[in-house]
Chains A and B, each alone.
Chain A
Amino acid sequence: MLSTRHIIDIQDLSAEDIALILDTAESFKEVNERRIKKLPTLRGRTVVNLFLEPSTRTRTSFELAAKRLSADGVNFSASTSATVKGESLADTAETLSAMACDLVIIRHKYAGSPRLLTRHMDAHIINGGDGMHQHPTQALLDLFTMREKLGRLEGLTVGIVGDISHSRVAGSLVPALRMVGARPIVIAPPTLLPAAPEALGAEVATSLDEVLPELDVAYMLRIQMERAEGMPFPSVREYANLFGMNSARLARMKPDAIVMHPGPMNRGVEISSAVADSSRSMILDQVNAGVAVRMAAMYLLLGGEANASAS
């Protein structure tokens, strides 16, 4: 079982927890390849998707994961929730608590909101992305994909390219890579780097071309124009020229190096269509792994084996 009640910050997990989740996800991935993709494991448990920020792929991924484990899933999204009527997150948490929910997955535009939930309810919490802070299940599914494709995690050099300062994906992935013995390098213009990138535990580079030959993984981040305060680079064209992954750059990488992206992609900006659709691109593998990893996380948080045998 996991050593933590919640998955809010990737560092809530130990290295053993991460290994357990990835191993458990392997078996769930096999289930997802069957014709009948359903297990009775979490029958009778209630999982709430509390998505207070727009999301399609993450919400769907969690929803599918819950359904495939036979949990009763409920969606509580921003447009239908009481939050638009002015209810505070604390009140929403207490309402959900009164309804005896077992697990809440929260996506919220403000960092720290999953911690706020833990102060107002007893349910297990999974952080589905909080502001610019973390998105731990994304990091887990990324590790899963890297391990599956490259056969190992320890010793890999992973370049995370783009909007590091606003990226909750980088916020989780960098510490996760460190925990499994990989070497993260964040690569971005200074305007897209946080104030103290070293605090995340990554090396820092401002030239993609310089570090490209060292990389086992080029992890391209989406340019989040909606989060930026003012344009952090002169033009999309210049950004793509300096930091975009294209066929020429791919050719300069190690022969077995892979390209990843958390989606949704801006084709032609951080990644060219030719690369995105190539055999070196793991983008759809990541999506596929997401369901299995989230099944594993839910299963392990909600009692896992004990519950399964009870059912």
Chain B
Amino acid sequence: MPVLLRGGRVVDPAIGLDAVCDVVIDDGRIVEVGEDLKVAGATVIECAEKIVMPGLVDMHVHLREPGFEYKEDVASGTRAAAHGGFTAVAAMPNTNPICDEGSAVRFLVERAAQRGKVRVHPIGALTVGLKGEALTEVADMLAEGAVAFSDDGEGVQNSGMMRLIMDYAKQFDALVIAHTEDEALVGRGVVNEGVISTRLGLPGWPAAAEDIMIQRDIRLSELTGCRLHVAHISTAGSVELVRQAKAKGLRVTAEVTPHHLFLDEEAVTGDYDTNLKMNPPLRAATDREALIAGLLDGTIDCIATDHAPHGPHEKALEFEVAPFGSTGLETALPLVITNLIAKKLASWSDVARWMAVNPRTVLAIDDVRIEAGSVADVTVIDPEARVEVTPEFFESKSANSAFLRATLLGKASEVFVGGRIVLRNGKVVD
């Protein structure tokens, strides 16, 4: 049955569209975009005061399946994605077993087909077992559906190995996503090195540990010609390095998380709230300002959540031993609306670029446009909805959010994946 999205503000920067109009979806595709459309027998969804845009893509999530299903699995993680307004996610390989070979990629593809609410794009490991020692079978994983490669969670420490990886990936034009962390500099670091680490007596993690690795990887990208995407950029120095790389015309892109954009190290107070323990850590206010500036000027291409669910018993540990990470899928869009749209720092076209258009371009996955003939992956946003971030709010199995107890503005109301409605009136459709 056709669906008519009536009277929404339709935004798609890839085709220069920003207008109030109707969108008709039928048989998995967008069949018509225009004013005052009439479709016999269509389900009508009123979209006045709402935003209609290409389905959001989160290119950095941890679905935790296989191996850590108590934290999250494909079913719950993709429900959380739909709840957050996403039509697709890219899943990092640090599961157990690690997604470092074709069969593991195939498992995830099949599991997503059976249980996924939204599309799941596997990311394969760069090195066997994420150990930084041996190349993985990139070609085999690509054939099974991997869209990119990363040792996320572990920086590849050996420069020679990283060069080998990039040289090898280049022949397939495969995307290498770098987790930039010089382990010798990080040491036991758990918070940004500076005022907060000193005041709280916690081991510090210097910004230079990120900058140095980014500089190395950009240089290796230049040497090899391999496409490089920098994961969860967190420092002013890194933003500047990516800016310079782009100015030189190198094939380098970058992402930033909502928690690095909207929180800084001052959030880590004497309460030692482990939901604020991140890898990389929340940085100084000046870093946060540089990240916002880098996003607004196009240096940073994408907002990605690094959705990192953990069990409550794990986050209830002492700060130094609790695992790193915060959930992110369900708060990302409300945070962007609250902090950038409502404050008039960004436009809806910007949001569509950061969260829908650019992630697809970086991952080189199917093009989605709000135009006739396109696959109907569509997100409808209610910018006036209020979101109370409580443990009950989440569709994710885990509630370890850095934004717990926040009140946010705006959220996705409808989500279509291949024309199938998976979120309706802000609720996941079963």
Contacts and interface: CB of A to CB of B under 8 A. Distances in A.
Interface of A: 9, 88-90, 108, 110-113, 115-116, 130-134, 168, 171, 194-197, 199-200, 229
B188 interface: yes
B318 A194 contact: no
A134 B270 CA distance: 11
A132 B203 contact: yes
B320 A110 contact: yes
A196 B199 CA distance: 8
A9 B319 CA distance: 16
A300 B202 CA distance: 30
Given A115-B271, A168-B201, 17 more contacts: A90-B316, A110-B320, A111-B200, A111-B320, A112-B272, A116-B272, A116-B316, A116-B318, A131-B320, A132-B203, A171-B201, A194-B197, A195-B194, A195-B204, A196-B197, A199-B194, A229-B187
A132 B202 contact: yes
Interface residues of B, number: 25
B44 to A, nearest CB: 50
The list of the 4 closest CB pairs from A to B, nearest first, reads A133-B201, A112-B272, A110-B318, A132-B201
B202 A199 contact: no
A108 B318 contact: yes
Contacts of B271: 115
Contacts of A200: 198-199
A199 B195 contact: yes
A197 B319 contact: no
B313 interface: yes
Interface string B179-212: 0000000011000011111111111101000000
Contacts, number: 73
Interface string B140-160: 000000000000000000000
Nearest to B268: A112
Nearest to A131: B201
Nearest to A168: B201
A76 B36 CA distance: 75
A111 B317 contact: no
Interface in B310-343: 313, 316-321
B270 A9 contact: yes
Contacts of A110: 318-321
A196 B318 contact: no
Nearest to B205: A195
12 contacts: A89-B317, A90-B316, A111-B200, A111-B201, A111-B202, A111-B272, A112-B318, A112-B320, A195-B193, A196-B195, A199-B195, A200-B199
